[in-house]
Structure 1
């Protein structure tokens, strides 16, 4: 299956036939409502694309496991992994998608050595990060945790360290387990075997509740998603009840309903006029343009790197659906900045687009000025168009801090990384980060960034700044 998520980075202009764009009876208000719905739903439809490929469509080459089971990846991501844009290649992933309709689920993590970083990021159908387990959040000791759905009410069961309340009926969990090097893979596998998930009834040794209704999951691929994003949004909203904090969306959902988008009902939920159909198409096109522009400008520009302050929960977004969509376009499932901060680079020190076909580049960290982190850091290379990892002759997709003993430092103690499509001189190859033969997109990851100076926190205002990407002579 082609990459669903990358398809959202492509133009939706084909959705709007030129003849319809000239329709004089198209209401600006209806176009605005359609645009609002598109922006609101953009990350949710992206998220559904991943859930469908990973946990529903067993014929997909990206399929991981059924719902309410854990999948462990015994390798770091490579160019063959295409479901998620800008994946990291530092940490073998583990995943589950929990169906919380009938009852909560309980997941367990094992104890691990103090020097190994790991995290469990909990993401709901809105793409809100609503909870964390791991080295920073809960420490490296063993633990048991419970995820409860929006309709669950009850006491914390015995032996549970913490209960996380999810606003939606389904939740993804993304596990990242640090890999120190190729010879460390067996240790990571042993840790992953200790990640466990069971329904609450199994944990308590009680009878299971009645099974929830079966779901007719709509197929999604890039053509289907681009052709009818509103239909997918209506389907997803079925599992996103407007209760609790989500009651703040009642006005938005009423406006979407006027345009035929209602949770749990086929799209359109009501008969649409020709003008409304045009407005929906125009709204999708305008919405995608708006998200692109926001993604290009979000955050602070520091030495050519774009540094975003991400706190991806409902309270922090405060109804800014455009910002939520822009974060998803830049890299869906981004961690909160306190867990990991991500400087992004598309331009060099002179403000010109990075291009591996035309130029060679360097990044130099002055002596004693490597990224300040409690865990580790990396710089990962992506194709600037698809935002996916690129094939290269040495199968190197990043340079990270565990590789430091193998890298060559300059005489003054600084560290230079060589970014180019063709191999550099032999004496520079140890520090070579292969680039695509075309547009470049790079992501620097600072896992568990330090809070004391020097620090990148708060993002865009910290005392440590990423060094510029400089065009080589």
Structure 2
């Protein structure tokens, strides 16, 4: 589909007179009701900034739960899928993917009834978390070591409009702000030999509709949805259409009145049938220009997100709707930097594209080192890691030793310096057999690095508050 010549199957055409007679005047946008081009440009910009996380989430949902031929498909809605291995360069649906913990996923369709997530008792030393993320990319709840502990439990996830009794045996209820939502399970892997233990834990996870949990007949199914195909090219060409489609499953939240009202001025909203070609040419052109302005604004926000500490950006950029409080640029920057990031208290993410001198990291030109002084490793209750990404795609890179990160579970096999410090060698070629245990393979080009501090300690030394804590990540140094 081309953004300026799109034929919508759901398009309605009605005269102003008929609309008034039917009481649907509010749904009709006459030529005179369109904003002027300058306003349309600003609304287009705001729509892109507000809507990017929503559309990005839809694209992931489409690949994971709808398109069986996507190459990234996991399982249909309301079906749990356990990944038996960590992510590699072959996993491309999500930018800056975690390669620390084998994932489990369930995309939930909450329209007909709630879902119940059950977890087994998990050994105390093994960290796990279940992050609940809705279609707005709000983290609306957590199950796991930090929040609910490692004992067995049963948790109910309900949709935005659900009303009903909480059945016996349910430990906690979580409410999604959208009809479709994802539960992201992370289960700690100690080393390669530990994978069978992780699989055993995963086999104890359950996700089932409430009726199945109660052993009762299922309610009537929700209406079938004609999900539009999406890929990166279509997402750019038809961004407003995808946003319009997704909003029908996302009732306006308490911070969204103003932005939803602005979007409605160009025909976007759950009570609209958006067709870009309905706009007068001048407004259509201006709104499209707004997308480019929005992209530039988000790129700037990503570059300036958080606090700069020794070349690293450390921020608190993920949370629920009360965390964002209508700060759409922050939400868009967070999704662009790495969609589905955790709340800072669950995991804090120092990220960088530059060395300590502020120069861009480039594996084709330089070798680098990252040295933690003795006794100054990242302070966490669970574990930490440093992950390498291609600086252009923000995806994991193929490399000869199949190593995508260095994490704290690898410490026993790593070589310390004579003073007790620990150096990680960041370069595209091996630093030599003696140091290969400390080698983090780099791409032949721009580098993007992300630390992950799972369940960071709150007492000093601590990375919390993000970027202002007493613990600071050391600067990356160019090798001499």
The 5-angstrom pairing of residues 11-26 of structure 1 reads none
2:249 corresponds, among 214, 239, 245, to 239
The residue that corresponds to 1:88 in the other structure is 98
**Structure 1 residue 197 and structure 2 residue 207: aligned?**
yes
- Paired residues of 1:26 and 1:278 also in contact (CA < 8 A): no
Q: Deviations over 1:286-345 (max 9, x none)?
A: 000000000000100000000011342111111010100000011000000000000001
Deviation, structure 1 residue 269: 7.9
* Separation (CA, whole Å) in 2 of partners of 1:253 and 1:343: 33
- Larger CA Rg, structure 1 vs 2: 2
Q: Deviations over 1:101-141 (max 9, x none)?
A: 01111010111110000000000000000000000011001
Greater displacement, 266-275 / 290-299: 266-275
* Separation (CA, whole Å) in 2 of partners of 1:260 and 1:269: 8
* Separation (CA, whole Å) in 2 of partners of 1:112 and 1:278: 56
SS of 1:123's partner is: strand
RMSD: 1.5
The residue that corresponds to 2:11 in the other structure is none
**Structure 1 residue 301 and structure 2 residue 316: aligned?**
no
- Paired residues of 2:318 and 2:331 also in contact (CA < 8 A): no
The residue that corresponds to 1:46 in the other structure is 56
- Paired residues of 2:318 and 2:334 also in contact (CA < 8 A): no
Greater displacement, 310-319 / 226-235: 310-319
- Judged with a 3 Å threshold, the aligned counterparts in structure 2 of structure 1 residues 410 and 247 are, in CA distance, closer, same or farther, namely closer
The residue that corresponds to 1:3 in the other structure is none
The residue that corresponds to 2:20 in the other structure is none
Deviation, structure 1 residue 167: 1.0
* Separation (CA, whole Å) in 2 of partners of 1:79 and 1:367: 32
* Separation (CA, whole Å) in 2 of partners of 1:269 and 1:275: 12
Moved over 6 A (4+): none
Deviation, structure 1 residue 206: 1.8
The residue that corresponds to 1:33 in the other structure is 43
2:218 corresponds, among 182, 202, 208, to 208
- Judged with a 3 Å threshold, the aligned counterparts in structure 2 of structure 1 residues 248 and 467 are, in CA distance, closer, same or farther, namely closer
* Separation (CA, whole Å) in 2 of partners of 1:194 and 1:266: 44
The 5-angstrom pairing of residues 84-233 of structure 1 reads 84-233=94-243
The residue that corresponds to 1:454 in the other structure is 461
- Paired residues of 1:260 and 1:270 also in contact (CA < 8 A): no
The 5-angstrom pairing of residues 396-411 of structure 1 reads 396-411=403-418
Give the total of aligned pairs.
449
- Paired residues of 1:262 and 1:269 also in contact (CA < 8 A): no
* Separation (CA, whole Å) in 2 of partners of 1:250 and 1:449: 35
The residue that corresponds to 1:75 in the other structure is 85
**Structure 1 residue 277 and structure 2 residue 287: aligned?**
no
Deviation, structure 1 residue 260: 2.0
Q: Which runs of 5+ in 2 are unaligned?
A: 5-34
2:376 corresponds, among 356, 366, 369, to 369
Q: Which runs of 5+ in 1 are unaligned?
A: 1-13, 17-24
- Paired residues of 1:261 and 1:269 also in contact (CA < 8 A): no
With the length of structure 2 as denominator, give the TM-score of the two structures: 0.92
SS of 1:381's partner is: strand
- Paired residues of 2:101 and 2:188 also in contact (CA < 8 A): yes
